[in-house]
Amino acid sequence: MSIIRYTVDAGIAWLTLNNPPLNALSHELRQGIVTALDKALADPKVRAIVLAGNDRAFSSGADIKEFSGNAFYAEPFLPAVCDIVEASFKPVVAAISGACMGGGLELALGCHYRVALADAKISFPEVKLGLIPGAGGTQRFPRLVGLETAINMIVSGATMPAAAFKGAALFDVIVAKDGETADLAGATRKFALSIIDKPIRRVRGLEVKHPQAEAFVQFARQGVASVARGLAAPLRALDAVAASVNQKFDSGIATEQKIFGELMVSDESKALRHAFFAERAASKVRGLDDKTAQRKIASVAVVGAGTMGGGIAMNFVNAGVPVTLLEARQDALDRGLAGIRKNYEGAVVKGKMKPEDAAKRVAMITPSLDFSAAKNADLVIEAVFEDLNVKKDVFKRLDAVAKRGAILATNTSTLDVDRIAAFTKRPGDVLGLHFFSPANIMRLLEVVRAKKTRPDVLATAMSVARKIGKTAVVSGVCDGFIGNRMINAYSQQALLMLEEGASPQQVDKAIEKFGFAMGPFRMSDLAGNDISWHIRKRHYAEHPRQRPLRIADRVCELGRFGQKTGLGWYRYEPGKRDALPDPVVDGIIAEERKALKIAPRKIPDAEIVDRLLFALVNEGARILDEGIAQRASDIDVVYLTGYGFPVHRGGPMFHASRVGLKAVLRRMKEFAANPHAEPGFWKPAKLIVQLAAEGKTFDDTPGHGSMTKGSMKKKGGRRG
Ligand code: NAD
């Protein structure tokens, strides 16, 4: 099948892009467009030309798989294609349906006219990959929609329906639905016939009109800077759009090209592109394929209406799946439901939800104290206390009442899912679904594959995750799974640095400057210091030789559990979120240093950052070595979506690969030589030693989601 379908009808040449599913502008498609255009220009019977896509997309833009090779820049390069289309001496009309994004939108802007379905999706998503539109979009778009709209859309990457541009020059015709159908082809044909023989209007010949352009750009710059969180692309996008008012068209294009080129090779864009591919790769699970059977999930039961259970239930009703909410005690059930109601009411107050929708969702939750209410559920998710005996009791009871084929999931953070599965007579139907708090908001879901979890159970869990809008990453069974096992090493370093001379504020500030949303102490105050205390106490019992981390224990012994108690590592004033230093904590730290006979030293910020990050990386590499994670990029996804790792750094494994594994090893050796280092902590993971010796990075490990070094070519997980 040809990449362009070429037909001529009533003097109109139809060039239909045929690169399914979304008409990505690959090198082959770009060539096809130019060749077909030449053919239409050479045919005297052709008097107008239409560029059209398919129902799903006019075009979703550049083929970003080409970013890593030469094909992206191969001739005809997309900016040239847009110019060639614009230079056509016969009128060219874009017929736009579905996604019209990025490079696809730029191609449409190169056309002389545009006819769009009202629900076509219009966007410039480039900033999300650390880029700006690079094929004339920053210059042509403002000429058609005005400066303000152009800045808003290009800087944010937001998607708008074509209908939102009614009245702007962007679309010559917006085709609304007539009943169930909309006749895009008919409307385009009619329009094309109407402009034959009329003078051609080229976007480059228009001017951007704004009464106070300079002042507006200045104003926008302040706004963008305050929300860009250190990212370069949004401000550079603004620079490029500004060139559309203060420079001539061709010089504006040169400015856009220059900025695009700089961003394309920036670490920020590489990291964001890595994150994009990593998320895609995470959805592919070793041992599963499209043919793996799936179970139907039409109803869900959640056991435990506490912090997690309530949020988990909301995920499902938000996706239209009714939930039975089970509790042991009426007061806990009432509290849980009240929390859910309050949450929805908050959304109504903020104008994010209609009151009737909020009421509908609450009504989709059926509360009960009777476990037999779970008998019809297709999926049961347990979120009771983190205590193996309580879990045992719950799973035995669920095993007795749940219907055959129901999936039984645990939300445990640290307990052994294999043991939990063994409490039932159907371990193949059991797995972990580890949500993050707040469960209705956090995107990450660790799907924990136990030894006996059946493939169809795992495959079903992955699609359930998609249905409720989560980013799922598969983890094997180990203490803490991928995310918490690594964070444990990270927190341990944070606490050791307090003993050695740092303050909680210094540690938090240093890693926040690196880009983390929150440092370890502010984070712990938010999550509740009692959670990690509970885990530490279990670790002390299981590993009697482990040295207790007394500073953290003493903070908890005082009941300083964080924001919820008003005191933690910091103190909090009522109604305020500011974390204020507290002399009580400083006192505890000073006493413990004395008890440990440590003379405090000034720890450089660079050491703080590296110790925290490389603790993550070393544990991450062990997790890969053990096959707990399928690929290095899955670990990055866990950290980017669940732990506030700065997205422009691409995740811990990606970051380590940029630093270089030899350099990482050298640094870990330095840390190991510290007289206060925990014995064995900095013993490098075998995988790091091996990769460093071969001059490789995590990018070279199989199945890695990054497009760097061509690793996209390798399919499948690390271990098959
Ligand atoms: P929670 O204490 O807020 O809620 C637990 C609820 O379970 C309580 O309402 C309790 O009444 C109920 N419950 C206890 N025994 C029960 C039984 N036999 N039958 C029915 N209900 C029972 O706890 P949580 O923070 O929501 O944690 C729940 C689970 O989720 C734990 O396994 C925890 O490790 C895990 N988890 C917690 C977080 C977090 O940040 N809080 C994050 C991820 C996972």
Residue-wise pLDDT for 558-596, tens only, equals: 999 999 899 999 999 887 778 999 999 999 999 999 999
Q: Average pLDDT for residues 396-420, to the nearest whole number?
A: 97
Q: Are 296 and 463 in contact (CB under 8 A)?
A: no
Query: Ligand 1 atom 17: the closest Cα is on which residue?
Result: 328
Phi, psi of 96 (to 5 degrees): -110, 120
Band (pLDDT 50/70/90 cuts) for residue 388 is very high
Q: Average pLDDT for residues 109-132, to the nearest whole number?
A: 97
Strand order in the sheet with 159-161: 57-59, 99-101, 121-123, 159-161
b/e sequence 495-529, b meaning 16+ C-beta within 10 Å: bbbbbbbbbbbbbbebbeebbbebbbbbbbbbbbb
Q: Are 641 and 543 in contact (CB under 8 A)?
A: no
Q: Average per-residue pLDDT in the chain?
A: 94
Q: How far apart are CA 486 and CA 479, in angstroms?
A: 10
Whole-number Å distance, alpha carbon 383 to ligand 1 midpoint, is: 5
Phi, psi of 5 (to 5 degrees): -90, 125
% of the chain surpassing 70 pLDDT: 98
Is residue 714 pLDDT above 80, yes or no?
A: no
Q: Are 137 and 109 in contact (CB under 8 A)?
A: yes
Q: How far apart are CA 502 and CA 484, in angstroms?
A: 23
Quick one: pLDDT at residue 717?
A: 34
Is residue 230 pLDDT above 90, yes or no?
A: no
Band (pLDDT 50/70/90 cuts) for residue 676 is very high
635 closest CA partner among 475, 456, 478, 489? 475
Summarised one tens digit per residue, pLDDT across range 270-288 is: 999 999 999 999 999 999 9
Q: How far apart are CA 477 and CA 431, in angstroms?
A: 10
Q: Average pLDDT for residues 300-306, to the nearest whole number?
A: 97
Band (pLDDT 50/70/90 cuts) for residue 640 is very high
Query: Ligand 1 atom 29: the closest Cα is on which residue?
Result: 383
What are the start-end ranges of the H helices in 247-319?
A: 249-264, 267-282, 307-318
Q: How far apart are CA 123 and CA 115, in angstroms?
A: 16
DSSP code for 552:
H
Q: Average pLDDT for residues 361-371, to the nearest whole number?
A: 97
Is residue 398 pLDDT above 70, yes or no?
A: yes
Is residue 693 pLDDT above 90, yes or no?
A: yes
Atom of ligand 1 nearest to the CA of 335: 9
Is residue 290 pLDDT above 90, yes or no?
A: no
Q: Average pLDDT for residues 52-57, to the nearest whole number?
A: 97
% of the chain surpassing 90 pLDDT: 91
Which neighbouring-strand residues pair with 17?
Answer: 4
Quick one: pLDDT at residue 371?
A: 95
Q: How far apart are CA 516 and CA 523, in angstroms?
A: 10
Is residue 177 pLDDT above 90, yes or no?
A: no
Whole-number Å distance, alpha carbon 409 to ligand 1 midpoint, is: 13
Atom of ligand 1 nearest to the CA of 413: 34
**Which of 314, 340, 384 for mutating ligand 1's site (highest number of atoms within 8 Å of CB)?**
384
Is residue 704 pLDDT above 80, yes or no?
A: no
Q: What is the pTM of this model?
A: 0.90
**11 SS3 class:** coil
Quick one: pLDDT at residue 706?
A: 53
Q: How far apart are CA 653 and CA 696, in angstroms?
A: 13
Quick one: pLDDT at residue 705?
A: 61
Quick one: pLDDT at residue 68?
A: 80
Which active-site residues does the annotation give? 106, 126
Q: Average pLDDT for residues 373-386, to the nearest whole number?
A: 97
> Which residues are near ligand 1 (CB < 6 Å)?
303-309, 326-329, 332, 383-386, 390, 393-394, 411-413, 435-437, 527
Summarised one tens digit per residue, pLDDT across range 462-511 is: 999 999 999 999 999 999 999 999 999 999 999 999 999 999 999 999 99
Band (pLDDT 50/70/90 cuts) for residue 712 is very low
Q: How far apart are CA 311 and CA 439, in angstroms?
A: 5
Q: Average pLDDT for residues 78-102, to the nearest whole number?
A: 98
Band (pLDDT 50/70/90 cuts) for residue 335 is very high
Is residue 1 pLDDT above 80, yes or no?
A: no
Atom of ligand 1 nearest to the CA of 435: 43
Q: Average pLDDT for residues 18-38, to the nearest whole number?
A: 97
Is residue 718 pLDDT above 70, yes or no?
A: no
Q: How far does CA 449 lie from the centroid of its chain?
A: 22
Whole-number Å distance, alpha carbon 385 to ligand 1 midpoint, is: 4
